[in-house]
Amino acid sequence: MMFAVAMIAVLVSLALALSRALLGPTMFDRVLAGNVIGTLSVVALALIGFVTGRPDFLDIAILYTLLNLVGTIAVLRYFKLSQPVAPPVPKK
Amino acid sequence: MLYFTSAVVIIYVFWLVLSGHYTPLLLAIGAVSSLLVVALGTRMAVIDREGHPIDLLGRAVWFWPWLLLEIIRSGLSVSKIILSPSLPISPTLINVQATQKSAVGLVTYANSITLTPGTVSVEVEGSEITVHAITHAGAQDLAGGGMDRTVTRFEGAKE
Amino acid sequence: MEAALDILSWLLLVAGGLFCVIGTIGMLRMPDMFTRLHAASIIDTLGMGFLILGMLLQAGFTFVAAKLIILAALVLLTTPVATHALAQAALHAGIRPKLSYDETGGHIAGEDASSNS
């Protein structure tokens, strides 16, 4: 019961974070929302493990934490490297 | 050698907790794979004090609870700001001077600033940290240097 | 004893859920990207922390508890890295925070004064 209440709160926050990801306005707001959604889904996975009585979900949650960091950094690096570059200098 | 051993021990304990099965075969596989991982890490030159400063573990006993209290305190004040209808924020960008000697201490300080809600370290160069704070009072609090002194005490300043 | 633990768990889980909702409300209300970072860090620290503490009390001294502690430690170790990377990348992409007070004197660590136009 108590886990169900916490689950509802986490799901509501997931919906709000998703709306921030859709609203933007900049790319970094979306990455931030993605990062928050990652953290919230880690907690949601742990709660699912308790609600269904299957603690195996905790292993998935641990993996998801690490993937969340790597994913955020990877997206940021990708956008850093794909900044608009100067137009190519025409060869003489 | 100290850091090689400690890395093997930490990774093996991590394996043991995650595995939950204690047959001789699985224990042996765990030992071999954690040794292999740390050997590869040594070739990458990431097994050193900077990677896992375990000599700080003794002082972490009082530093982590202090940090947790700090997080709860500032988290409550930021929650209050979010919930008040007028949204009384006064975003401030400020440069603070870090007095830590080593890279480990500097990273600890910058991460402590980021981990506390209400202040985010935006950029670090040398011993200067640019911090974005959500209220002017929070920035002044940080500039007062209380957290800086605590982290320096945690670091121990040997180098 | 059992009942007291249950009540404490209830309180912690409700507090954690509340902080998650507060954090995301903050993310929707804040005016710019840098202030949203602060709202997001409430979720990563207080929301996650209280929820995992509540689960910890229900788990007792088992492997589940050890895994929960590892989970909380990993989240607390990795989120500041991601947040700092995000703030730094946004600043270097030319996004300037809306400020009430600028006490840097126009100087931001890691940037020369000439490129800070």
* Average pLDDT of chain C to the nearest whole number: 83
* Class of residue B55 by CB neighbours under 10 A (exposed 0-12, middle 13-18, buried 19+): middle
Contact at CB, B93 and C104, closer than 8 angstroms: yes
Asked whether the predicted pLDDT for residue C29 surpasses 90, the reply is no
Question: Residue B91: is the preceding peptide bond cis (ω within 30°)?
Answer: no
Contacts of B20 in chain C (CB under 8 A): 63
Q: Could you identify the residue written with the tokens 């957290």?
A: B147
Q: Does B19 touch chain C (CB under 8 A)?
A: no
Within 13 Å of residue C93, how many CA atoms lie on the same side as its CB?
22
Asked whether the predicted pLDDT for residue C106 surpasses 70, the reply is no
Q: What is the pLDDT of residue B103?
A: 82
List the structure tokens of A39: 């953290």
Q: What confidence category does residue C115 fall into, taking pLDDT thresholds of 50, 70 and 90? A: very low
Distance from CA of C26 to the nearest CA of B (A): 5
Distance CA C45, CA C22 (A): 12
The helix or strand, by DSSP H or E, that contains position B67, with its residue range, turns out to be helix B57-83
Q: Domain count for chain C, please give it.
A: 1
Pick the residue of C27, C84, C98, C116 with the most B CBs within 10 A to test the interface with B by mutation.
Answer: C84
Please count the other Cβ atoms lying within 10 Å of the Cβ belonging to residue C6: 14
Parse chain B into domains and list their residue ranges.
Answer: 2-43, 56-155
Q: Which of B40-44, B102-106, C53-57 has the lowest mean pLDDT?
A: B102-106
Contact at CB, B111 and C26, closer than 8 angstroms: no
Q: Convert the pLDDT of each residue in C70-88 to its tens digit.
A: 999 999 989 999 998 888 8
Residue C13: which domain range?
A: 2-96
Q: Does B57 touch chain C (CB under 8 A)?
A: no
Asked if this assembly's ipTM is beyond 0.90, the reply is: no
Q: Could you identify the residue written with the tokens 């900049």?
A: A26
Nearest-CA neighbor of C86 among A69, B49, A43?
A: A69
Contact at CB, C42 and B90, closer than 8 angstroms: no
Q: Classify residue C111: in a domain, yes or no.
A: no
- What is the mean predicted confidence (pLDDT) over B54-83? 87
Q: Could you identify the residue written with the tokens 């928050």?
A: A36
Distance CA B126, CA A39 (A): 31
Q: Which residues pair with C102 in a beta bridge?
A: B93
Distance CA A42, CA A63 (A): 9
* Average pLDDT of chain B to the nearest whole number: 85
Whether B42 and B4 have beta carbons less than 8 Å apart is answered as yes
The helix or strand, by DSSP H or E, that contains position B124, with its residue range, turns out to be strand B119-125
Cβ pairs A/C, distance under 8 A: 145
B130 phi and psi, to 5 degrees? -90, 125
Q: Classify residue C113: in a domain, yes or no.
A: no
Whether A43 and A60 have beta carbons less than 8 Å apart is answered as no
In percent, the amount of chain B with pLDDT more than 90 equals: 12
Distance CA B79, CA B82 (A): 5
Q: Classify residue C12: in a domain, yes or no.
A: yes
Q: Does A8 touch chain C (CB under 8 A)?
A: yes
Q: What is the pLDDT of residue B86?
A: 85
Whether B103 and B50 have beta carbons less than 8 Å apart is answered as yes
Asked whether the predicted pLDDT for residue A33 surpasses 70, the reply is yes
Query: Least CA distance to A14: which residue of chain C?
Result: C24
Cβ pairs B/C, distance under 8 A: 138
Q: What CA–CA distances, in Å, run from A90 to A28, A51, A84, B90?
A: 33, 63, 17, 48
Whether A72 and C85 have beta carbons less than 8 Å apart is answered as yes
List the structure tokens of C20: 């998650």
Whether C70 and A63 have beta carbons less than 8 Å apart is answered as no
Asked whether the predicted pLDDT for residue B54 surpasses 90, the reply is no
Contact at CB, A73 and C74, closer than 8 angstroms: no
Q: Does B77 touch chain C (CB under 8 A)?
A: no
Distance CA A46, CA A50 (A): 7
Q: Does C80 touch chain B (CB under 8 A)?
A: yes
* Class of residue C95 by CB neighbours under 10 A (exposed 0-12, middle 13-18, buried 19+): middle
Contact at CB, C44 and A39, closer than 8 angstroms: yes
Q: Does C1 touch chain A (CB under 8 A)?
A: no
Q: What confidence category does residue B40 fall into, taking pLDDT thresholds of 50, 70 and 90? A: very high
Q: Which of A2-6, A56-60, B152-156 has the lowest mean pLDDT?
A: B152-156
